[in-house]
Chains A and B, each alone.
Chain A
Amino acid sequence: MPIRPPFILTLGSVLVSFATLMCSGSVAHALEEAEPKRVLLLHRSDLLLPATIEQDQITRKAIATAVPHRVEFHSEGFDIVRLSGPADGAELLSLLLKKHAARPPHLIVAHGPMQDVIAQNRARLWPGTPLMFAGIAEDRVEDPGFPRGIPGTTIRLDLRGTAELAMTMQPRARRLVIIAGNSEYDLKWRQRAVVALQPYRHRIVVEFVTDRTVEELEQFVASLSRDTILIFTTLYRDAANRVYVSREVAQRLTAVSSAPMYTLYPSQVGLGAVGGSVQDWNAQGDAIGDIARRLLAGERPESLALFTPSPPVCKLDWRQLQRWGIAENRAPKSCQILFRAPTFWSQYRTEASFIGLVVLILSALVVALLMERRSRQRAEVEAERQRGELAHASRLTTIGALSASIAHEINQPLFAILSNVVAAEVLLKSDHPRLAEISQILGDIRRDDERASEVIAKLRELLQRRPVKMRSLQTNEIVNSILRFVAGASRLHGVVITTELSDALPPIQGDHVQLEQVVLNLVMNAIEAMADIAAERRHLTVRTVEMPPGSVEISVRDSGAGIPEVIIPKLFDAFFSTKRDGMGLGLSIARSIVTAHGGRIWAQSRTDGATVCFTIPVSHADDETQRDAEIAA
């Protein structure tokens, strides 16, 4: 069989040759890497103008992307014309040459209107090194002294496009003014204007303004009506033969102009012009990169072209639209609207959303708290209502227990009345009735009737379910009213009731039925407490006294066996009772009534009897307005 080389050998040789190839490539690359391509970017004006910066950056990016080598850039600004005059250009150039002598550039890119500088100094300016233009005005190429054979990109100045844009944005304008300077180049705009604006001559009046000094132009533009369209072309020299940078003149004019001004130059959009149909500098980038790459690769400059890579586009300055009150929506769809003021939202997005979130959370909290409060209020109202119901139920129970003595209490006066009536009948039958006595009898009958009525009225009052009415009350009246009511019960149980009621007590603030209920409860408890002791020792004392500051104390003392100490803390608890069949609610309800009135209730005990006391706050002048709660009591 044929002997095939071992696989490992084949693989090995392939790998080795591949590596060699790589290495040689990278060695070559490394050799080349040792020296990057140096590109010198020349600008006509101050390097730090925004338009200059933009152009410079686009050029750098374009070339760095397009060129396969490492590129080193250097930018120089030639602000000669503005600062000193043409004569000193030579010295500056010498300086430039000296500066870069040690490391001369491989490519020179001249931006913007550099053609005269180049034309004058091409021979000195590293003649062997390739040179290209970037963004030179298209119509400058026809100038007589224009340096030939230099590739690059041009920009088109679109007078017609700008005029059309202006007329679209200001449809009511009747006058279109074109401003130009006095230099040879400037004056060419007249001819160009005639050609470009030929189709519009019936729509609008076109004026060509030239041969003014810049100051005169300033006055002129300030005098225009708002309805005018102003297009600034170029001004390199004014009527006083002073040299200017067009762009700066344009800026000065827009500052004082009374009419909106449009421009042909992309760099002027943003410097005061409303806008214009201008070259998009970005679109230049690719072309610049391509030309640069080819030049650095060694292609001869003459074989490359000088051309406009892309058509002009509509650009508008949003700020100027606002300034002149020009409606944004008139702009054609293809227009780019630049310098739009960032909305509050876009500027402060983070802060705004954060604050918005915080506000939202706080609002949610507030709402939640309000809802909480409402449900708490409702719960409180409900609790009060239920307390009222309970108090009512307790009253019914107490009165139920009192029913025998209530009946007794009514029977007494009724019996007295009947006896009196019979006595009166007998007296009337005699020959000489004693009218004085009969009159007395009638008085007694009335008194007894009222007594019975009072008991019934009090009974009805206590039995009624009624809303709480807070009033200014007299303590002693409450005590006496209940004592009259329970007179029968006390008599029934053989209890002697003594009162020690202070005179001149200040009025207390409360609901009289609820307070009577408390007194009733305490008195009934006291009477029951004495059931097991000898009849002659059953003494019940009710005492009222002022307790400064600001309350009245009512105490009920019995002569029973007292309350065991262990029971006292539980005495007022709900469902705690010492009676065999007691529900244990009376004292707890009494406590809740007293507490709701703002008072205190407590019990003390001795071997010879117990005392239960409670306080009620004194009423103040501003309590006089009755506060009727909407609860059933």
Chain B
Amino acid sequence: MDKRGSTVFVIDDDESVLGALRRLLEAHDMTVRTWSSTQSFLDEHDPSEPGCVLTDLAMPGMNGFDLQEALAHVDSQRPVIFLTGHGDIPASVRAMKAGAVGFLQKTVRPELLLDEIRAALEKDAAARESGRHLAALTTRLRSLTPRELDVLELIVAGMMTK
């Protein structure tokens, strides 16, 4: 799958962390966009743009959980990875249950972080791909006449034209 064209959306209120992450990811040929607050990300990002979210958990104003909730609210399928400076098990459980694809601490090895990001991007691409595929199929389905629809159903049921 072609990951180029996917963006990593990085949210962290710590300027130096944000800058360092940008450098790290760009050094590994990733496209990066950064925000220092959840609110500004929600206001500015394009949901149709492919990519994943890499976010801090504890931030002033809306934190990482609030972000998850906001994305869920708009049925966003975008994968979210948490990268937090402190982390405890309850937080990670909550994050994962709410649909995060990863929960990492800032003591993590950069290589592992990069792997997780790549996996998330792939997942996003795959999701989009299958989404597109599904959308195409749905369009085609919609273009069938009612009789073709019946035949389809029969085909699906019997799977035999004989």
A positions within 8 Å CB-CB of B: 404-405, 407-409, 411-420, 422-423, 426-427, 437, 441, 444, 447-448, 451, 488, 490-497, 535-536, 538
Contact = CB atoms under 8 A, between A and B. Distances in A.
Nearest to A448: B16
The A interface, classified by DSSP as helix, strand, loop or mixed, is helix
Contacts of A495: 60
Contacts of B14: 412, 416, 491
A301 B63 CA distance: 145
Given A411-B85, A491-B13, A492-B58, A444 B19 contact: yes
Contact of B60 (A409, A419, A444, A491): A491
Contacts of A407: 86
B34 to A, nearest CB: 13
A426 B61 CA distance: 35
24 contacts: A411-B85, A411-B86, A412-B17, A413-B16, A414-B106, A415-B85, A416-B20, A419-B21, A419-B110, A420-B20, A422-B110, A423-B24, A426-B27, A441-B23, A444-B19, A447-B16, A448-B16, A490-B60, A491-B59, A491-B85, A495-B60, A496-B61, A497-B60, A538-B60
Contact of B61 (A411, A437, A488, A536): A536
Interface in B79-121: 85-86, 105-107, 110
B86 A423 contact: no
Interface of B: 13-14, 16-17, 19-21, 23-24, 26-28, 58-63, 66, 85-86, 105-107, 110
Given A419-B20, A488-B85, A535-B63, 11 more contacts: A407-B86, A408-B85, A409-B85, A423-B20, A426-B27, A426-B28, A488-B86, A490-B60, A491-B13, A491-B60, A494-B61
Contacts, number: 90
B16 A444 contact: yes
A448 B23 CA distance: 15
Contacts of A413: 16
Contacts of A494: 58-61, 63
A414 B108 CA distance: 11
A622 B14 CA distance: 43
A413 B106 CA distance: 10
A560 to B, nearest CB: 15
Contact of B85 (A412, A497, A536): A412
Nearest to B13: A491
A417 B107 CA distance: 11
B145 to A, nearest CB: 53
Nearest to B26: A423
A492 B16 contact: no
B23 A420 contact: yes
A415 B107 contact: yes
Contact of B107 (A404, A411, A437, A535): A411
A542 to B, nearest CB: 15
A494 B63 CA distance: 7
A510 B49 CA distance: 56
Contacts of B19: 416, 444
B102 to A, nearest CB: 16
Given A419-B20, A423-B24, A444-B16, A412 B61 contact: no
